[in-house]
Amino acid sequence: MPIRILPDEVVARIAAGEVVERPASVVKELVENAIDAGASEIRVECLEGGKRLIRVTDNGSGIRSDEVALAFAHHATSKLRSADDLAEIRTLGFRGEALASIAAVAQVTCLTRHVEENLGTLVRLEQGHVVSESRVGRAPGTTMTVEHLFAAVPARLKFLKTTQTERGHIDALLTRYALAYPHIRFALLHEGKLVFQSSGNGNLRDVLVAVYGAEMAANMVPVEGEHDAMRVWGFAALPSLDHANRSKITLFVNGRPVQDAKLGYAVIQAYHTLLMTGRYPIAVIMVQLPPSEVDVNVHPAKAEVRFRDPDAVFSLVQRAVRKALLDHLQPTPIHLSTSSRIPQPPEERIESAEQRTAAPASPAQALPTAQQPPLRGSEAWEQVGIPKQTQRPPEPTHDALRLPGVRAEVNALPALRVLGQLAQTYILAEGPEGLYLIDQHAAHERILWERLLAQRELGAVESQALLDPVVVTLPMESAALLEENAPMLRDLGFEVEPFGNNTFLVRSVPAIMIQDDISAAVREIVADLESNEPVLRRELEARVLRRVCKRMAIKAGRVLSFAEMQALVRDLEACESPRTCPHGRPTMIHLGLTQLEKAFGRLG
C-alpha cells in the first residue's frame, strides 16, 4: 500500500487512545486543568461510572472567551512557550492534548468565565468540532461536561469494565488528588449521590480520615525529611496496620500522582524487619524537588517520572519513613512462657469423635472450652461427600474450586501414628514408610479449605449471623470493590451491606470465623480481591476461602494435646489433597526408613 498522511479525524482518535483510556482518564485530565487554574473547590459528577456523563466544575480562573475554542485544538496550551520550558514544568498539564483528545471521542460542553470578564462562554463540540458558541452568565470558573464517552468508537466502548469497576477507578483517582492537595475542597457524586468530600482546610490528616476512615488514619504517623532542595512529607501507617499488596502505597512527585517502583521499594525498605514477609505498608508520601531534577515527560498519561539522581530521592524517602516509624513505635513488653515462646492467642480446639462423645475422666483432664465450634472428625467428611482416604485410589493434587461432581485427584496418606509435637509447630508421626513431620498450621489450613470447599459445592458455605453487626470503614476504591463483589461474598457466607459512603455493616460471616477479628478479616479479603488482571469468579472465590482458612487455622507456637494432634492427623488423612495447603505449601516432610538408616550408618 502507498504511504499517505492520515486524515485529521484518524490522527485525533489515535492520540485520544494514548490519553483517554477510560472514564477515570477524563476525570484526571479535567481535574488537573482545574488545579492548574488555581481552583479551591472542585466538584466531580458521574453517571454510569462516567460512561454516560462526567461533569467537572471548578472555581478557578476560567478561560478567556476568545480562547475557549482554541483550547480544544491539538497542542494548544497556556503552560508552555518554548522547548526550554520542558525542563522547568511546574504545572500538572503541559502537552495541550487532553481537551482535544476528549473531544475526539465524546460530546463535550464547556461553560466558562474568566475572572477578568463579565460574561461567560458556552461552547459545544461533537467529534472534535465546535457546533455552537454563545455568551452566557455564570460565576468565574469552568464546568466541563463530557457525555457518551466512546459512543462513536464502539471498539473502545466494549473494552470498558462494569459501571462499578469504572466507578472504583474514578474514586481512587479523586481521593489521590484530595490527598495531594488538602487545601482544595473536592466533592465526588455518583448518580447524584455525594460519596466523597474533603474539607479543603489544608490539613492532610483530615483528608486521611475522609479517604481511609478514622480508625486507619489514627494509626498513621507523620513523615518529614529534607535534604538540600529535596523535601519529603506525608503519613505512613504503623506496622500494626498493613496490607496484602503494594496498592496502598500512594506516591506524589511535585503534586503529581506517580507510579515509581523504586520509590515504592524505598517505602517498603523503611519497614524492613517491622512487617511480616508478604505484607506491605500503607503510606501517602509526597516528594518535592526542583522541576529541573525530574522529567515528567516520559509517559502519555504522565504517570511515570525520571529523576536526575534517583538514589538520592530513594535514600531520603527511606530514611524519612524509617525515622517516623521508629520515633512512634513503643517497645512492647514480652512475657515468656516456661517454654520460652511468646504466648499465642487461644485457637480453635480440635477434638476426635471419641472425645466429643465421651465425658472427661476428671475436671483436670477436661479440655478448655472452645471459643469456636470444634473442627469435626473425619467421619463428618463422609456426610458431605468426601469418603475416607482408604476408599479411593491415589489422585494428583488440584486446588482450584471444583465443579460439582468433579473429584480432585490426590496423593493418599497412609495411616499415621502420632508420636508428639516438635517446637510447638510440627507434629511427629510414624507411618509404614518412615517418619512424617507435619506442619500443624498448613495441615489445619488444608482441612478447613476442604471443609469450606465441600460446603460451597453443596450450595453455600455455612454462615453465622453476628449478634451485633460489625462496622467496617474502607478506602473509597476498596469500598467500591467490596460493593461490586457483595453477591459473591454472600455465597461464601458473608452478609455485607452499605452503611453510608465507604462504610459497611457485616451481619454474617462463615461459621468458622465467628470468633475472628471481623473488621481485620474483611480488610484482608478486600485486599485479596484487588487485581489489575481479569480474574474469573471461581478464582476470586478461592482467594476469599484461602484467606478464611489462613486466618482460622491454628498457628505455630500453639501447644496441642495428644488428642488434638490425633484428631488433626485423622482429619488430614481424610482430605483429598493432604500433602499441600491451599496456597501450595507442603503440609509435611517425609523421612523414609532408607534415608534414616543411611544417616545412622546402617546401610552402606
Indicate whether 209 belongs to any domain.
no
Indicate whether 363 belongs to any domain.
no
Indicate whether 79 belongs to any domain.
yes
Closest listed residue to residue 575, CA positions, set 416, 465, 418, 421: 416
Rg (CA), the chain: 30
Number of separate domains in the chain: 4
Closest listed residue to residue 251, CA positions, set 332, 307, 196: 307
| Rounded Cα distance, 561 and 370, in Å | 14
- The CATH number of the domain holding residue 97 is 3.30.565.10
Percent of the chain at pLDDT above 90? 36
Residue-level pLDDT at 42: 97
Q: For 471-503, how does the pLDDT look when each residue is reduced to its tens digit (9 = 90+)?
A: 988 887 788 888 888 888 888 889 998 887 788
Say whether both 151 and 284 belong to one domain: no
Residue-level pLDDT at 10: 62
Indicate whether 67 belongs to any domain.
yes
Residue-level pLDDT at 307: 87
Which phi-psi region, left, alpha or beta, contains residue 163 (left: φ > 0; alpha: ψ -120 to 50)? alpha
- The CATH number of the domain holding residue 322 is 3.30.230.10
Last residue of a domain, one of 200, 235, 266: 200
Say whether both 547 and 588 belong to one domain: no
Say whether both 57 and 21 belong to one domain: yes
Tell me the average pLDDT of the chain.
80
Indicate whether 583 belongs to any domain.
yes
* Full residue range of the structural domain in which residue 471 is found: 463-529+537-552
Q: For 200-236, how does the pLDDT look when each residue is reduced to its tens digit (9 = 90+)?
A: 999 999 999 999 888 889 999 999 999 988 999 999 9
Say whether both 176 and 64 belong to one domain: yes
Say which residues have a Cβ less than 8 Å from residue 403's Cβ, sequence separation at least 6. Answer: none
Residue-level pLDDT at 410: 43
In the predicted structure, residue 90 carries a pLDDT above the cut 90:
no
Residue-level pLDDT at 396: 36
Indicate whether 285 belongs to any domain.
yes
The DSSP string of 431-470 is: ETTEEEEEEHHHHHHHHHHHHHHHHHHTTS--EEEEEEEE
Say whether both 233 and 169 belong to one domain: no
In the predicted structure, residue 303 carries a pLDDT above the cut 60:
yes
- For residue 206, count CB atoms less than 10 angstroms from its CB and return exposed for 0-12, middle for 13-18, buried for 19 or more: middle
Q: For 230-288, how does the pLDDT look when each residue is reduced to its tens digit (9 = 90+)?
A: 999 999 999 988 888 888 999 999 988 888 888 999 999 999 888 887 889 999 999 99
| Rounded Cα distance, 231 and 253, in Å | 10
Say whether both 132 and 245 belong to one domain: no
In the predicted structure, residue 441 carries a pLDDT above the cut 90:
yes
- Alpha carbon 74 to its chain's center: 37
User: Span 396-408, mean pLDDT?
Assistant: 40
Residue-level pLDDT at 155: 74
Say whether both 505 and 379 belong to one domain: no
Last residue of a domain, one of 165, 200, 235: 200
- For residue 423, count CB atoms less than 10 angstroms from its CB and return exposed for 0-12, middle for 13-18, buried for 19 or more: exposed
Say whether both 546 and 573 belong to one domain: no
Residues β-bridged to residue 15: none
Say whether both 251 and 272 belong to one domain: yes
Helix, strand, coil distribution of the chain in percent, nearest 5:
35, 25, 40
In the predicted structure, residue 92 carries a pLDDT above the cut 60:
yes
Say whether both 177 and 270 belong to one domain: no
- The CATH number of the domain holding residue 497 is 3.30.1370.100
- For residue 445, count CB atoms less than 10 angstroms from its CB and return exposed for 0-12, middle for 13-18, buried for 19 or more: buried
Q: Per mean pLDDT, which range of 79-93, 168-182, 494-508, 560-574 is the poorest?
A: 79-93
- The CATH number of the domain holding residue 412 is 3.30.1540.20
Indicate whether 558 belongs to any domain.
yes
Residue-level pLDDT at 341: 39
Say whether both 479 and 497 belong to one domain: yes
Indicate whether 249 belongs to any domain.
yes
Whether the pTM exceeds 0.75: the reply is no
Taking the CA atoms of residue 369, residue 373, residue 375 and residue 379 in that order, the dihedral angle to the nearest 10 degrees is 110
Say whether both 233 and 273 belong to one domain: yes
